[in-house]
Amino acid sequence: MQAEKELIAGAAASLVPSGTAIAISAGTTTYALAKRLTDIPGLTVLTNSVPVAEVLYKDGRPDQTVILSGGVRTPSDALVGPFAVAVIRSLHVDSVFMGSHGMDLRSGFTTPNILEAETNRALIEAGRRLVVLADSTKWGTIGISSVARLEEADTIVTDSGLDATARQQLSAAVRRLILVDVATSGVQTIEGEDGSAVGPGELGGNGVSKGSTASQLPSQPHRRYNALSDEWLLVSAERTSRPWLGRQETPPPQDLPAYDPSCYLCPGNVRANGERNPEYDSTFVFTNDFAALQPDTPLVTIEDGLLRAKSERGTCKVICFSPRHDLSLSRMNATQARTVVDLWATQTASLGEQFPWVQVFENRGAPMGASNPTRTVRSGRRHPAARGGEGGRDPVPPFRRDRSQAPARLCRTGGGRRQGPGKR
236 within some domain = no
* Same domain, residue pair 37 and 135: yes
Q: Residues near 403 by Cβ (< 8 Å), separated by ≥ 6?
A: 92, 230
Higher pLDDT, 408 or 373: 408
Higher pLDDT, 214 or 46: 46
**Number of domains within the chain:** 2
410 within some domain = no
CATH number of residue 116's parent domain: 3.40.50.1360
pLDDT at 209 over 50: no
- pLDDT on residue 237: 64
Q: Which of 195, 46, 200, 33 lies closest to 122 in space, CA to CA?
A: 46
For residue 176, give the 3-state DSSP assignment.
strand
Higher pLDDT, 221 or 53: 53
* Same domain, residue pair 299 and 198: no
Mean residue pLDDT of the chain comes to 80
pLDDT at 179 over 90: yes
Structural domain ending residue among the three candidates 153, 176, 205: 205
Higher pLDDT, 291 or 146: 146
- pLDDT on residue 205: 37
Structural domain ending residue among the three candidates 205, 234, 249: 205
224 within some domain = no
Contact 97, 136 (CB under 8 A): no
Contact 343, 283 (CB under 8 A): yes
- The predicted-structure confidence for 148-174, as pLDDT tens digits, reads as follows 999 899 999 999 999 999 998 998 888
* Same domain, residue pair 198 and 308: no
Q: What percent of the chain has pLDDT over 70?
A: 75
* Same domain, residue pair 22 and 118: yes
- The predicted-structure confidence for 350-394, as pLDDT tens digits, reads as follows 988 887 778 887 766 666 655 454 444 444 433 222 222 223 345
* Same domain, residue pair 47 and 171: yes
* Same domain, residue pair 17 and 151: yes
Contact 381, 359 (CB under 8 A): no
- The predicted-structure confidence for 232-281, as pLDDT tens digits, reads as follows 777 776 666 667 667 777 776 778 899 999 888 899 999 988 999 999 99
- pLDDT on residue 204: 36
Structural domain ending residue among the three candidates 205, 228, 262: 205
* Same domain, residue pair 183 and 310: no
pLDDT at 285 over 80: yes
17 within some domain = yes
278 within some domain = no
294 within some domain = yes
* Same domain, residue pair 21 and 137: yes
* Same domain, residue pair 43 and 183: yes
Q: Which residues of 105-135 are buried (b: 16+ CB within 10 A; e: fewer)?
A: eebbbbbebebbbbbbbbbbebbbbbbbbbb
- pLDDT on residue 226: 74
pLDDT at 407 over 70: no
CATH number of residue 328's parent domain: 3.30.428.10
371 within some domain = yes
* Same domain, residue pair 163 and 45: yes
- pLDDT on residue 375: 41
* Same domain, residue pair 296 and 185: no
146 within some domain = yes
- pLDDT on residue 379: 47
- The predicted-structure confidence for 17-71, as pLDDT tens digits, reads as follows 999 999 999 999 999 999 999 999 999 999 999 999 999 999 999 999 999 999 9
- pLDDT on residue 381: 36
Which structural domain, as residue segments, surrounds residue 374?
284-380
* Same domain, residue pair 193 and 292: no
